[in-house]
Amino acid sequence: MPELPEVETIVLDLKEKIIGKTIKDVWTDTPNIIKKPKNFSLFKKEIIGRRIEKIFRKGKNIVFVLSGNYFLLTHLKMTGHFLFGKWTFNEKRWVSQKEGPLNDPMNLFIRVVFFFEDGFMLSLSDLRKFAKMELSKEEPDFRLLGPDIFEISFDNFFEKIKNQKGKIKQVLMNQELVSGIGNIYADEILWKSKIHPFKKADSLSKEEIKLIFKFSQEILKLSLKLKGDSMSDYRRVDGSKGEFQKEHKVYRRTGKNCFACKEKIERIKIGGRSAHFCPNCQIL
């Protein structure tokens, strides 16, 4: 799932490509992605002719501010990512008009296409079809979404974490507390902090929480510099890969040697998800 660095990278790329462009048409073969309005024909009618005036991120959400005071809220969910270019519909699928990263197999699951007046297109590729879009004249309500790690002081972070009853990995991934951290970065942050993912948040010392805060910022900044993590299906707007996957210390390294102590990395289940950790460095 795209997390803060991936979504922020997409937003920064999109700002360079599509601000000021006007939507001429829209296509989809997966109308269930459009959650509001429910009727795709109405969605199409309302969005055609609108100019993209602003794009911003909140947590893992992307918001397109359109002319006429419209807002297009997008959540990429598990496997969604935006692509910018030109495609031709050929033999039941969209094909990039030029060779290059857009032809990466992970960029071929095109579900929604926005056509601009200048001939360029914005596409949503989504292998699992879980992404969602909502078009509304009301600005999205993010009151239940927590601040991200760059919007909060350590003191506020400490207050949010110290009394939580759950396992620390699940607490870090709770978007109502702190937004933007998901499976990959929670594993990497906890390895760097030498804290077991099953450790209860309310049992952590202030120094341990300070380490989590510090390495949350450091690791997410590094991933932003490297344009996100493309271990799985995430790609940048031009179709290319990010490079944070080259920095993994535990995520998807089951059975490999820990970089700190050479113990074998283990994988356990936690709330239906996986957690990767070193049993020597991260003692419960």
Active site residue 3: yes
Range of the domain at 161: 154-277
Buried b / exposed e over 232-267, threshold 16 CB at 10 Å, is ebbbbbebbbbebbeebbbbbbeeeebeeeeeebbe
**Residue 243 near residue 237 (C-beta atoms within 8 A):** no
124 in the same domain as 170 = no
111 in the same domain as 185 = no
* Set 17, 77, 129, 273: catalytic member: 273
186 in the same domain as 111 = no
Rounded to an integer, what distance in angstroms lies between the CA atom of residue 257 and that of residue 221?
25
129 in the same domain as 33 = yes
Cα torsion 126, 129, 130, 136 to 10°: value is 90
189 in the same domain as 96 = no
**Residue 73 near residue 98 (C-beta atoms within 8 A):** no
The pLDDT of residue 83 is 98
25 in the same domain as 61 = yes
The pLDDT of residue 36 is 97
Q: Looking at residue 18, which CATH number applies to its domain?
A: 3.20.190.10
Distances (CA, A) of 170 to 57, 192, 232, 253: 22, 17, 21, 20
Active site residue 60: yes
In a domain, 141, yes or no: no
41 in the same domain as 110 = yes
Those residues whose C-beta lies under 8 Å from the C-beta of residue 248, and which sit 6 or more positions away, are 184, 188, 231
In a domain, 149, yes or no: no
Q: Residue with structure tokens 């506020």? A: 156
Rounded to an integer, what distance in angstroms lies between the CA atom of residue 261 and that of residue 269?
23
The pLDDT of residue 271 is 83
The pLDDT of residue 49 is 98
**Residue 125 belongs to what H/E stretch?**
strand 121-126
Q: Looking at residue 250, which CATH number applies to its domain?
A: 1.10.8.50
**Residue 65 near residue 54 (C-beta atoms within 8 A):** yes
In a domain, 256, yes or no: yes
Distances (CA, A) of 20 to 17, 118, 162, 282: 9, 11, 45, 49
124 in the same domain as 165 = no
Instruction: Give the pair of three-digit tokens for residue 48.
Output: 């055609």
**Residue 255 near residue 265 (C-beta atoms within 8 A):** yes
In a domain, 257, yes or no: yes
Those residues whose C-beta lies under 8 Å from the C-beta of residue 214, and which sit 6 or more positions away, are none
Active site residue 273: yes
132 in the same domain as 10 = yes
Strand partners, 26: 114
Q: How many domains does the chain have?
A: 2
Of 85, 103, 136, the last residue of a domain is 136
**Residue 242 near residue 234 (C-beta atoms within 8 A):** yes
Q: What is the pLDDT along the chain (284 residues), one digit of tens a residue?
A: 799 999 999 999 999 999 999 999 999 999 999 999 999 999 999 999 999 999 999 999 999 999 999 999 999 999 999 999 999 998 889 999 999 999 999 999 999 999 999 999 999 999 999 999 999 999 999 999 999 999 999 999 999 999 999 999 999 999 999 999 999 999 999 999 999 999 999 999 999 999 999 999 999 999 999 999 999 999 999 999 999 999 999 999 999 999 999 999 999 999 888 999 999 999 99
Work out whether strand 61-66 and strand 52-58 pair parallel, antiparallel, or are unpaired.
antiparallel
* Set 57, 60, 160, 169: catalytic member: 60
Helix axes of 206-225 and 4-18: crossing angle, nearest 10 degrees: 30
110 in the same domain as 9 = yes
Of 104, 136, 168, the last residue of a domain is 136
